[in-house]
Structure 1
Amino acid sequence: MTAAASAPSYTGTPIPLSDTPSRLRRLRWAVADACTVAGRDLAHWRRRPGAVIANTLLFPIMIVLMFGYLLGGAMNVPGGGDYREFLLPGMFAMTMVFGIGTTMVAVSSDAARGITDRFRSMPMSASAVVAGRALADMLNSAVALAVLILCGLAIGWEPGRGLGASAAAVGLLLLLRFAFLWIGVYLGLVFHADPEAVTGIRTLEFPIGFLANPFIPIATMPAWLGVIAAWNPLSSTTSAVRELFGNPTGDDGSWIAEHAMLMAVVWPLALIAVFLPLSIHRYRHLGK
């Protein structure tokens, strides 16, 4: 008798080598399906550029100009520093959080109109639909972040610690967006049958964003409120990005603030570990 050739697996159980090509094919088709879904979403944005420009690009620019010029004169940064340099990294992070609503509305709309059910009836990977949505939204967020950075440079903000540190800061911002994106996907699938709930949940972007440190230093908040704001994942990313860009941080000296760089990685990874599997599970059991 001839023993069948096998290869070790990550679980310790041998995998027949004859199965490897089929697994690679399945992976290749899953990636192709995700790219197809992402292309569909991007095609919709090309046909409706007005909504993308207004919601994704103009709104954060308007907030930067309003806080930077209308309210910035009354703002003081603990430890000194220009308020606009303090503000811009916070706005970069805030824009990543505000993507929750965009993702949630798009996912819930597809599910409510039966488009998601059509995808589920097709011979395609279960993860490809949500992965395609994530890919499209990440591309959209990268463009929005680039536009906002250019806006910041135009009004006098500038990174002060070199290209490598700036690239790391952008990476942390996109990691935060990737984490919150899966929250949006999950909530969109859960509440797709209730448009009013989707609208209500979308308003939570504002307390999440404002109950943090993008606009106001935590050291200026009441102690009890400062603790809540400091442990907001948005605050950790904002503080880490300010440090990497070489901008004023205005931190309060708490443990979470002193370890902002670490927590800017831990928080998003924890959110991804929770909401990515939940999103795929919810998609597979949609309507049950």
Structure 2
Amino acid sequence: MSAVTRTAPAPRPAGGIGKSVRDSLVIARRNLIRMSRIPEMVLFGLIQPVMFVVLFTYVFGGSIQVGGSLSSQDYREFLMAGIFAQTVTFATAGAGAGIADDMHKGLIDRFRSLPMARGAVLTGRTVADLVQTALTLVVLALVALLIGWRTHENVGKILAGFALLLLLGYAFSWIGALIGLSVRTPEAATSGGLIWLFPLTFISNAFVDSNNLPTFFRHIAEWNPFSTTVQACRELFGNLPPGFKTPDAWPMQHPVLASVLWSILILVVFRTLAVRKYRSAAA
């Protein structure tokens, strides 16, 4: 009489949220390794914000009035929150171009053939971009300190300010993901990712006091999600110049809360649209 050997059933792969998180981290790791092997991607991403810091600080620093002050030091501290915010939002173009490039090379089609969570490809890409953005912010903050930028609040508030910047950048990266899925070439994704960012960042309080803008543009700037994060960071960094009059609009009066709400809204809406676009393309 032969003995019956029983084998334990093979473990089932984790499903639901666990599988999605695991797959997203795998894709994020893949993108981070790729970035580390192409260091010029990070280097070129640093050049533009550093140029903006130098140009606005030393070319316009003594001629732009903020809060009734023409002090170059006041403007330098006023400026940096806007440069930080511009840096994290301009990463949108890179996210879109990266996804468009993967689609153009057929890599996305390979991912679609694998038993992985549908949203993991996009989530992994945006998480990797978030890590790159965080590194860029660290380097940019060091450059800002070298040219005289200073904070005047405690460490907790300073870290909260950078957290708001990263949240905004992550939310905007999903806009880039949607653009990357909607165009045919990386070049089109880069153009589509930048063309709307310039008016968004310049019709704002990033580089000038919004109180000095014409009425129509002032209202746009005060309700601009970009402006809201900039205002929140200035308060958290202690970079509001003496005599600065905070606009009466609700987002400017409650910038931290408004910044969180704007970022979450953008994240939810554009992540939903991007994942839906990815699924419809895969069908």
Farther off after superposition, 76-85 or 93-102: 76-85
Q: Determine if the alignment matches structure 1 residue 219 to structure 2 residue 208.
A: no
TM alignment of 1:130-209, pairs within 5 A: 130-192=122-184, 195-196=187-188, 198-209=190-201
How many percent of aligned residue pairs carry the same amino acid? 37
1:49 aligns with 2:39: yes
Tell me if the contact between 2:101 and 2:186 (Cα under 8 Å) persists in the aligned partners: no
Match of 1:232 in 2: 224
Q: CA deviation at 1:286?
A: 1.4
Secondary structure class of the residue paired with 2:27: helix
Aligned residues between the structures: 267
The correspondence for 2:47, drawn from 33, 58, 67, is: 58
- The aligned counterpart of 1:261 is 256
**Aligned position for 2:56:** 67
Does 1:246 find its partner at 2:241?
A: no
| 1:78-122 CA distance string (max 9 Å, x none) | 154610000001111111111110101001111122111110011
2:107 is the alignment partner of 1:115: yes
Q: TM-score, normalised by structure 2?
A: 0.88
TM-score by length of structure 1 reads: 0.87
Q: Is the 8 A contact 2:83 2:206 kept in 1?
A: yes
Equivalent AA in structure 2 for residue 109 of structure 1: D
More displaced stretch, 103-112 vs 193-202: 193-202
Distance in 2 separating the partners of 1:126 and 1:111: 15
Partner of 2:272: 277
Alpha-carbon deviation of 1:26? 5.0
2 CA distance for matches of 1:248 and 1:279? Answer: 37
2:6 match: none
Name whichever of 278-287 and 200-209 sits farther off.
200-209
Deviates more, 1:71-80 or 1:265-274: 71-80
Give SS of 2:260's match.
helix
Segments of structure 2 that go 5 or more residues without pairing to the other structure are: 1-10
RMSD: 2.0
Q: Distance in 2 between matches of 1:125 and 1:222?
A: 48
Greater mean alpha carbon deviation, residues 222-231 or residues 246-255? 246-255
Q: Which residue of 1 aligns with 2:25?
A: 35
Shift of 1:192: 3.3
Query: Structure 1 residues 244 and 122 mapped into 2: Cα distance closer, same or farther (>3 Å)?
Result: same
Q: 1:197 to 1:57 in 2, by over 3 A?
A: closer
Q: C-alpha deviations, 1:97-156, integer Å up to 9, x for none?
A: 111101010011111221111100111111111111011001001001111111111111
The one of 86, 109, 112 aligned to 1:94: 86
More displaced 10-residue stretch of structure 1: 193-202 or 95-104:
193-202
Mean Cα displacement is larger for which, 185-194 or 213-222?
Answer: 185-194
Q: CA deviation at 1:203?
A: 2.4
How much has 1:193 moved relative to structure 2? 5.4
For residues 211 and 73 of structure 1, what CA distance do their matches in structure 2 show? 21
Contact 1:101–1:205, Cα closer than 8 Å, also in 2: no
The more displaced of 199-208 and 214-223 is 199-208
Structure 1 residue ranges without an equivalent (≥5): 1-20
2:93, 2:189 within 8 Å by CA — same for their partners in 1? no
